[in-house]
């Protein structure tokens, strides 16, 4: 488990500065290969499972993490796939919260 997964999300506001490309690259190295950067404003996690039950259990666990961290992703899923997208809307970019949440999700599958 990465150091990010041990941290907690903190509230962001319009005064919070989005992470720059060097900071994003550094934090991406702490995540699994499930994650990729989409521009400098989103990270996308793509996950595959054996069946619908496993996928739904994962989605429920991601929802629990989102609730506990008060940082909510966009989630889309089907029979055996799930995409999780994080961005910090308050700053129109990426914050530590996105990477903290992603690291916690990595703990569900790795």
Q: Would you place residue 2 in the very low, low, confident or very high pLDDT band (cuts 50, 70, 90)?
A: low
| CATH code, domain with 59 | 3.30.1360.20
22 within a domain of the structure (yes/no): no
Token pair belonging to 29: 């190295």
9 within a domain of the structure (yes/no): no
Q: What is the pLDDT of residues 64-107, one digit of tens each?
A: 999 999 999 999 999 999 999 999 999 999 999 999 999 999 99
88 within a domain of the structure (yes/no): yes
Q: Which domain holds residue 108?
A: 38-110
Mapped onto helix, strand or coil, the DSSP state of residue 39 is coil
70 within a domain of the structure (yes/no): yes
83 within a domain of the structure (yes/no): yes
Q: What's the structural domain count of the chain?
A: 1
98 within a domain of the structure (yes/no): yes
86 within a domain of the structure (yes/no): yes
Instruction: Give the closest residue to 61 by CA, choosing from 10, 100, 104.
Output: 104
Q: What is the pLDDT of residues 23-55, one digit of tens each?
A: 999 999 999 999 999 988 999 999 999 999 999
2 within a domain of the structure (yes/no): no
Token pair belonging to 76: 């889309």
Q: Would you place residue 15 in the very low, low, confident or very high pLDDT band (cuts 50, 70, 90)?
A: confident
């Amino acid at each position: 488990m990465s150091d990010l997964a041990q941290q907690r999300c903190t509230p962001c506001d319009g005064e919070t500065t989005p992470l720059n490309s060097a900071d994003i690259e550094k934090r991406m190295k702490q995540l699994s290969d499930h994650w990729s950067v989409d521009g400098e404003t989103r990270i996308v996690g793509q996950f595959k499972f054996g069946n619908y039950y496993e996928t739904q259990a994962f989605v429920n666990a991601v929802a629990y993490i989102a609730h506990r961290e008060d940082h909510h992703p966009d989630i889309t899923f089907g029979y055996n796939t799930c995409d999780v997208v994080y961005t910090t809307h308050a700053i129109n970019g990426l914050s530590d919260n996105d990477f903290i949440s992603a690291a916690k999700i990595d703990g569900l599958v790795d």
